[in-house]
Amino acid sequence: MSVPLLQAFQVGRYIAGRKLRGVKRYPLVLMLEPLFQCNLACAGCGKIDHPKEILQKRMSVADALRAVDECGAPMVSIPGGEPLIHKDMPQLVAGIVARRKFVYLCTNAILLPKHIDEYRPSPYLTFSIHLDGNRQRHDESVCQEGVFDKAVAAIRLARAKGFRVTVNCTLFSGEDPDHVAEFFDEAMALGIEGITVSPGYSYQHAPRQDVFLGRNQSKRLFREIFKRGRSKRSASRGSAGRWSFNHSGLFLDFLAGNQAYQCTPWSTPTYNLFGWQRPCYLLTDEGYASSFRSLMEDTDWGRYGVGRNPACDNCMAHCGFEGTAVDDAFTHPLKALKSAIRGPRIAGPMAPDLPITYREHVRHSVTAAAVPEVILTRRESGLRQPRELQ
């Protein structure tokens, strides 16, 4: 784990408080999407498929901060769209930092040199830079040449100005574990704090459908990558080898196929221009709640997760499973310590997948209105349209 002690302490105290009070479901990271517009159109993006009038909308700072307070999570991740397009982003970030919450501002970094002086370095602010691999791989992934070089220059600039920086890497089909390992080396050499990594979620509305990894492919790929990290452990910097990850040890072990975790989508609730998105950051057609309380109390959580819903079949994203791993670490601290020291297991049998039960659910959902207080799904409200480029 690469997070600084201050963050580990504050987040640990928050979780311990929830556990002591017997709270079963608690938010860990608020995913705040204050706009959907982006200056890129990546092949695997499931966020920019909106009509122009929605892409031009911006969430107000007051609305965003109200959601931060309502949710109460100790960490706030701001993806998008591209957050740096939002002209009030510096005020929004300052408002969250003033609340002593840890902000991850997720950006493709193209606009970072232009806007960086609107932000002040703080232990509560991290620029999470989108980089999916080496120059060729990343430029291919974002469908535009030259973006890798801009992102790397922006990382160097942000580090030179004293900002916390992480790299957010999504892996797709056709990855070569050697290349990924080399890319992780390259990223760490830029002086970043750590790498956030997940297999790409197979968004139904992404421009390309052939880029996503299946569940077993993901597990095999991560074992191969971690093997390469382990092979040079003499220069080790993190539990999976010489790299630092912005994840718990047990989440890495899950990626390597050793933990049969169920998703806990409430750990990363999503607030965007439509409201509180049910059930998670990735599923966008399940409706919205009007309040955080309604999201937590009225969502039929049993309909989602591994084996419970076909849309969850290949999902191993950190927004679904990092919360599970962290909760497991608090419940089983010795197991977590062992995993942190040894790193993810890279050989031997994998943990069996959870059983498929969704035939039953699909049959049930045909006869019952399973989601109460859904405002409107985007399809019902006519918002789902072919993607328009800005």
Alpha carbons 303 and 358: distance in angstroms, whole number:
8
Residue 283 CB, nearest approach to ligand SF4 (Å): 5
Q: CB-hemisphere CA count at 13 Å for 84?
A: 23
Q: Which residues of 312-343 are buried (b: 16+ CB within 10 A; e: fewer)?
A: bebbbbbbbbbbbbbbbbeeeeeebeebbeeb
Residue 54 CB, nearest approach to ligand SF4 (Å): 14
**Residue number with the shortest CB distance to ligand SF4?**
320
Q: Which is nearer to ligand SF4, 243 or 321 (CB)?
A: 321
One-letter-per-residue 3-state SS of 140-185: HHCCCCCHHHHHHHHHHHHHHCCCEEEEEEEECCCCCHHHHHHHHH
Say if residues 253 and 239 touch (Cβ distance below 8 Å): no
Residue 345 CB, nearest approach to ligand SF4 (Å): 22
Say if residues 4 and 315 touch (Cβ distance below 8 Å): no
Alpha carbons 209 and 186: distance in angstroms, whole number:
29
Q: Which is nearer to ligand SF4, 295 or 346 (CB)?
A: 295
Say if residues 171 and 197 touch (Cβ distance below 8 Å): yes
- As a whole number of Å, the end-to-end CA separation of the chain is 38
Q: Which is nearer to ligand SF4, 258 or 314 (CB)?
A: 314
Residue 314 CB, nearest approach to ligand SF4 (Å): 9
The contact set with ligand SF4 (CB under 6 A) reads: 38, 40-42, 45, 47-48, 80-82, 108, 130, 142, 263, 265, 279-280, 282-283, 304-305, 311-312, 315, 317, 319-320
CA dihedral 26, 103, 78, 309 (to 10 degrees): -30
Q: Which is nearer to ligand SF4, 246 or 299 (CB)?
A: 299
Q: Which is nearer to ligand SF4, 142 or 225 (CB)?
A: 142
Q: Which is nearer to ligand SF4, 306 or 346 (CB)?
A: 306
